[in-house]
């Protein structure tokens, strides 16, 4: 392929950036493996599942309660935030008058800008006591899911909105000329056309939910136990690291890095699933 001089320089620059980004990700992965090696070396991988409990200092490394807590809280938040976010985007794109839609969009952007600690604080002061009335102690998986939902909602809403905005006007005119109702346009044409963008946004939101530490830590109670109901206290993988890192040494510290590795694997699975999903039946 022929490239002019400026194109060659640009290509070199961009290649450099891409290489740097990829190297950083790989280095992080290597670092995680290196730091967790003291544990991985002596402890079979199955012990992270079959051990009786999480007491790394005594040599018990069960991670499943925390894995489940992370999985359930993320899943719960995505399940709640996705329909709400898409509905919000549909409202601002197809039903709200332009002025209201503009104000509404600014408001959602504001929601995205609130620091996570503020969400956590609000959840602890307001939401937890409310849920506590239902079933003490109030700091629970449900509280975590609700706070996370609120936090990732703007991500889903804004990316879905952008994906819907990118649906060509010709489709809108074409659908109208065929006598399609607004819902017919949305369900038959706009959502399928915006599908990959909406999936990408949901994935981004799910990634944020998996990684969110502070807000979740403040509202879920942090008891290491396999949740039996939504109202049980739980501890997520991220909270586990944040809570114990201050005093962890030796194998304990290495075990915490295994938590980090587990998070990374979860994100990897998530990304691959989303990739598969958006490839299937793609008509763009």
User: Which stretches of the chain bind other proteins, using CB under 8 A?
Assistant: 98, 168, 170-181, 184, 188-189, 192-193, 283-284
Most distant CA pair in the chain: distance in Å?
A: 71
Pick between residue 16 and residue 102 the one whose CB is nearest to other proteins: 102
Shortest Å distance, C-beta 119 to other proteins: 37
Shortest Å distance, C-beta 199 to other proteins: 14
Residues 209, 62: Cα–Cα separation, whole Å: 22
Contacts of 261 (CB under 8 A, 6+ apart): 32, 33, 36
Over its C-alpha atoms, the chain yields an Rg (Å, rounded) of 23
Pick between residue 247 and residue 283 the one whose CB is nearest to other proteins: 283
Pick between residue 31 and residue 95 the one whose CB is nearest to other proteins: 95
Phi/psi of residue 234, nearest 5 degrees: -140, 170
Shortest Å distance, C-beta 200 to other proteins: 16
Element (H, E) at 4: none
Contacts of 106 (CB under 8 A, 6+ apart): none
Shortest Å distance, C-beta 163 to other proteins: 13
Cβ(224)–Cβ(54) under 8 Å? yes
Pick between residue 180 and residue 270 the one whose CB is nearest to other proteins: 180
Pick between residue 29 and residue 191 the one whose CB is nearest to other proteins: 191
Shortest Å distance, C-beta 26 to other proteins: 36
Shortest Å distance, C-beta 180 to other proteins: 5
Shortest Å distance, C-beta 95 to other proteins: 15
Pick between residue 175 and residue 230 the one whose CB is nearest to other proteins: 175
- DSSP per residue over 193-236, as a string? HHHHHHHHHHHHHHHHHHH--HHHHHHSB---S--SSTTS-B--
3-state secondary structure of 3: coil
Shortest Å distance, C-beta 144 to other proteins: 38
- DSSP per residue over 30-93, as a string? HHHHHHHHHHHHHS-TTHHHHSSSEEGGGTEE--HHHHHHHHHHHHHHHHHHHHHHHHHHHIII
Residues 90, 112: Cα–Cα separation, whole Å: 18
Pick between residue 98 and residue 113 the one whose CB is nearest to other proteins: 98
Residues 53, 61: Cα–Cα separation, whole Å: 6
Pick between residue 104 and residue 171 the one whose CB is nearest to other proteins: 171
Tracing tokens 């915490």 back to the chain, one arrives at 256
């Amino acid at each position: 392929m022929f490239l002019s001089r400026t194109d060659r320089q640009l290509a070199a620059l961009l290649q450099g950036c891409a290489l740097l980004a990829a190297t950083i990700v790989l280095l992080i992965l290597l670092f995680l493996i290196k730091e967790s090696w003291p544990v991985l070396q002596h402890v079979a991988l199955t012990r992270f599942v079959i051990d009786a409990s999480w007491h790394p200092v005594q040599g018990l490394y069960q991670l499943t309660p925390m894995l489940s807590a992370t999985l359930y809280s993320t899943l719960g938040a995505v399940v709640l935030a996705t329909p709400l976010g898409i509905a919000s985007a549909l409202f601002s794109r197809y039903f709200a008058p332009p002025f209201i839609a503009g104000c509404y969009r600014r408001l959602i952007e504001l929601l995205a800008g609130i620091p996570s600690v503020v969400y956590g604080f609000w959840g602890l002061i307001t939401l937890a006591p409310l849920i506590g009335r239902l079933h003490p102690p109030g700091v629970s998986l449900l509280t975590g899911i609700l706070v996370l939902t609120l936090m990732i909602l703007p991500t889903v809403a804004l990316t879905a909105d952008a994906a819907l905005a990118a649906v060509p006007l010709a489709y809108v005119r074409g659908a109208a000329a065929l006598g399609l109702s607004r819902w017919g346009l949305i369900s038959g044409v706009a959502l399928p056309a915006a599908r990959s963008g909406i999936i990408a946004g949901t994935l981004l939101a799910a990634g944020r939910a998996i990684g969110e530490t502070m807000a979740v830590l403040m509202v879920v109670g942090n008891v290491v136990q396999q949740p039996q109901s939504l109202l049980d206290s739980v501890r997520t993988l991220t909270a586990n690291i944040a809570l114990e890192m201050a005093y962890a040494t030796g194998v304990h510290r290495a075990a915490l890095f295994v938590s980090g590795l587990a998070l990374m694997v979860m994100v990897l699975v998530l990304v691959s699933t989303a990739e598969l999903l958006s490839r299937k039946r793609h008509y763009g």
